Structure 1
Amino acid sequence: MSERPHPTDRLTVQKFHSWYTAAWVLLGLIPSVIGVENDSGAPKWGALALLAVLASCYTAVRRFPDNPVLRPQAYLALLALGLGAMGGLPGGGAALFIVSLPQFWLFATAARSAIVLSGAAAAATVVGSTLRSGESLTGNVVFVFIGYAASVLTGLLIHRLVADGDARAGLLGAELESAQARLAEAHRQQGAADERERIAREIHDTLAQGFASIIVLAEAARSTVTSDPERTAQQLVSIEQTARENFAEARVLVGSAPESGLAPGSVAVTLRRTLDRFTQDTGLTVEAELPPDVACDQQTRIALLRCTQESLANVRKHARATTVGVVLTQYPHAIELEITDDGNGFVVEDSRGFGLDGMRKRLAELDGDLTVTSSLGDGTRILATIHTNGQP
């Protein structure tokens, strides 16, 4: 039939075909050949020729199911006639019919076709057996009717089970497609959320900090514009430089600049430039140990710079410190950046700021971690560690 098991079960169907072919040959063809062995004349050779034709046609249909000359439906019609003819020849009869019944369910295009064609084969077999024996009701005839009825019931049952299996497979396939679509949408939404978080972190660590510096410098410049013009001029220069850096970072964020706006140089030079600007803007004392031979890749360099900028911004806004210490150390398998201040400190567990979480996530992306130690009145220690596995 064309309504065969689901494609995932094709291998099982092929195995069944192979086992059935062996059974048909052993239990159908060979006993029929043996049955005419002791006969002679035209009936014997006619039976052998008919068996050979049926075997050849069966082989052709099995190997070439799309053959335009001998289609499965045509073969089943030929099989029905052949079984009827064998019923009237020596060696034929009910046994060959019973063994051949599964073919009608294997090759028919639908259950109705299988019932009609196997019924025709049963009728032809009964007619052939009756003509040969001269009796209308024999054991073979009863056996044919029972076999036909059993094949119809079994075939319909199997057909129903296969149809139910196909329906369940279709339902599961639809559910799987729906689940895959939901998963893809979830991945898309998660990717969008991750990208928004990344952009928010970049804006916080670059543009927001720069604008905060500009505001503080502008307020300071306004307060000294008449009393200390030289100081005001320095602050205006810092405002201009910070605004240019913000502009460069904004171009990176919107994709109009190919790489980070970070100025070239080693990580020590980059951090030193940031610390000098911080000292110039705030007047705080910065004690730094920045070995010039510390080597790292661009991502690590950016992460260390962002951690430094965030820590210095927190010192400026919250710490009320007088001195800041920065120590950069390279180990065989890690780089550490320690930033301390002597400010008023805070309770780490109560901190809900975006900055510390952003630092942690940025470092985690590089197989690093952040340790924050602080308490009220005792200052703050920030330790950023990035594991390098010995790779500069």
Structure 2
Amino acid sequence: MDRPPQGKDPFPIRRLRRWYTVLWVVLGPVPSVLGTRDDSGPAKYAALAVVAVVSVGFAVLEVHPENPVLRPVPYLWVLALGIGAMSVLPGGGAALLIVSLPLFWIHAGGPRTAIALSGLAAAATTAGSIAQNAEVFTGNAVFALAGYAAGVLLGLYVHRLVQQGEERARHLGAALEDTQQLLAEAHRRQGAAEERERLAREIHDTLAQGFASIVVLAEAARAGLGTDPGRSAQQLLSIEQTARENLAEARILVGSAPHGGGASASVAQSLRRTLERFAEDTGITVEAELPDVVCDQQTRIALLRCLQESLANVRKHADAGTVGAMLSPLPYGVELEVTDDGRGFVVEESRGFGLDGMRRRMAELGGQLTVTSSPGEGTRVLALIPTNGQV
């Protein structure tokens, strides 16, 4: 099994490694050292030297696994030979072999190397035990072979589990990447749809309304050329002004002019100018109460578009004689009310793009649009935009 990169082990793995380190020290080197207490001479010191080399190598490998001096696989060779040497030295090597078997699977880099090196350690332990006792079936030999067989079976099983986990992780990673791509594409499509909707609303509220005014004014001017040239001249002037305004709006939409044109005007001035143009073009009486109200640019544009759409509906559908507009500052926002005394309509049956566009524009700013009307009773449009994000 490959060792996970240093510093990236999950917390449970690090905890298990710490417990294994304690277990290895307690059940490996410590029993071997204690086993040399009743011995003396070169054999004892040779056993202690082997235990010291194996222990120091283990410590360096666990603390600094990427140390250029001590690589995992060379250390495993030293460990296997050291375990074999301990089998013929005081202290024995069977216990050290059993407790060290996981090291071969952790650091070997693959099952073949782990099986080979742990097999070398088991064979050396078995051979040393037989040579030392002149018996084939010694307790240490049987213990070493049984431990090796169990270690191989367990190691292969764990290795298979790790491979299956890595395969599942790869599949999940691929699925996650595909999902992220689909989500990004959905976001792009949603963004494109929202941008198309925004442009459609802006075109409807500006260019389309302007062109509709130009058509009506042009028809009126043509009809009055012979009977009222002065009135026709005024209507032609209105056509020119409307066309210029439409051109400015078109430049705004394509990004070649600052957004919102006329940004320096207050909301009251913008609304008053729109009402004056409407009265001049249509002859409909306008009654307005438009005090100066402090609001941001987005709110100013939204109120202006709401008024323009309301007036366009009056021009096209209401057959009204009087239009009223009232702008009111409130403690929690600003309110615009537009009324007419025209023919009215059933609000629930209205399917126009303009009303829906006004509602969406108000909703984007956290506001509300209320339309009240009935046949023969005129129409009331109430737009409320909060200044604190709540209505």
TM-score after normalising by structure 1? 0.96
Matched residue, 2:138: 138
Where does 1:169-188 land on structure 2 (aligned, <5 Å)? 169-188=169-188
Matched residue, 1:343: 342
Where does 1:1-392 land on structure 2 (aligned, <5 Å)? 1-2=1-2, 4=4, 9-262=9-262, 264-291=264-291, 293-389=292-388
Q: 1:6·1:169 contact (CA, 8 Å) conserved in 2?
A: no
What's the CA shift for 1:367? 1.5
SS at match of 1:232: helix
Q: 2:85·2:93 contact (CA, 8 Å) conserved in 1?
A: no
SS at match of 1:261: coil
Residues in 2 aligned to 1:358 and 1:6: alpha-carbon distance in whole angstroms:
58
Return closer, same or farther for 1:161/1:241 CA change in 2, 3 Å cut-off. Answer: same
Return closer, same or farther for 1:7/1:93 CA change in 2, 3 Å cut-off. Answer: closer
Residues in 2 aligned to 1:331 and 1:263: alpha-carbon distance in whole angstroms:
22
SS at match of 2:226: coil
Return closer, same or farther for 1:390/1:79 CA change in 2, 3 Å cut-off. Answer: closer
Residues in 2 aligned to 1:6 and 1:311: alpha-carbon distance in whole angstroms:
68
Residues in 2 aligned to 1:21 and 1:266: alpha-carbon distance in whole angstroms:
76
CA deviation vs aligned residue, 1:1-25 (integer Å, no higher than 9, x gap) = 4265999754333322211111010
Report how many aligned residue pairs link the two structures. 390
CA deviation vs aligned residue, 1:267-288 (integer Å, no higher than 9, x gap) = 1111111111101110111111
Residues in 2 aligned to 1:198 and 1:6: alpha-carbon distance in whole angstroms:
52
CA deviation vs aligned residue, 1:238-267 (integer Å, no higher than 9, x gap) = 000000000111111000002322263221
What's the CA shift for 1:390? 10
Q: Which moved more, 1:28-37 or 1:210-219?
A: 28-37
Identity %: 65
What's the CA shift for 1:135? 1.2
What's the CA shift for 1:70? 2.4
What's the CA shift for 1:138? 1.0
CA deviation vs aligned residue, 1:89-144 (integer Å, no higher than 9, x gap) = 11113212111111110110100100011011000001111111121211211111
What's the CA shift for 1:150? 0.3
Residues in 2 aligned to 1:377 and 1:246: alpha-carbon distance in whole angstroms:
33
What's the CA shift for 1:298? 1.4
Residues in 2 aligned to 1:3 and 1:74: alpha-carbon distance in whole angstroms:
15
Paired amino acid for 2:220: A
Q: 1:29·1:51 contact (CA, 8 Å) conserved in 2?
A: yes
Residues in 2 aligned to 1:284 and 1:126: alpha-carbon distance in whole angstroms:
112
SS at match of 1:12: helix
Residues in 2 aligned to 1:286 and 1:357: alpha-carbon distance in whole angstroms:
25
Paired amino acid for 2:310: S
Residues in 1 aligned to 2:223 and 2:6: alpha-carbon distance in whole angstroms:
83
Residues in 2 aligned to 1:239 and 1:139: alpha-carbon distance in whole angstroms:
111
Q: 1:245·1:261 contact (CA, 8 Å) conserved in 2?
A: no
SS at match of 2:294: coil
CA deviation vs aligned residue, 1:52-95 (integer Å, no higher than 9, x gap) = 00001111222232333321111111111101100011111321
SS at match of 1:383: strand
Paired amino acid for 2:56: S
Paired amino acid for 2:166: D
Paired amino acid for 1:12: P
What's the CA shift for 1:389? 2.9
SS at match of 2:28: helix
Q: 2:6·2:65 contact (CA, 8 Å) conserved in 1?
A: no
Q: 1:5·1:13 contact (CA, 8 Å) conserved in 2?
A: no
RMSD between aligned residues: 1.7
Q: 1:4·1:162 contact (CA, 8 Å) conserved in 2?
A: no
Q: 1:6·1:166 contact (CA, 8 Å) conserved in 2?
A: no
Q: 2:302·2:362 contact (CA, 8 Å) conserved in 1?
A: yes
Return closer, same or farther for 1:144/1:115 CA change in 2, 3 Å cut-off. Answer: same
Return closer, same or farther for 1:317/1:5 CA change in 2, 3 Å cut-off. Answer: same
Paired amino acid for 1:319: A
Residues in 2 aligned to 1:183 and 1:176: alpha-carbon distance in whole angstroms:
10
Q: 1:249·1:261 contact (CA, 8 Å) conserved in 2?
A: yes
SS at match of 1:226: coil
TM-score after normalising by structure 2? 0.96
Q: 2:334·2:385 contact (CA, 8 Å) conserved in 1?
A: yes
SS at match of 1:52: helix
Paired amino acid for 2:307: T
* Residue segments in structure 2 that go unaligned for 5+ positions in a row: none
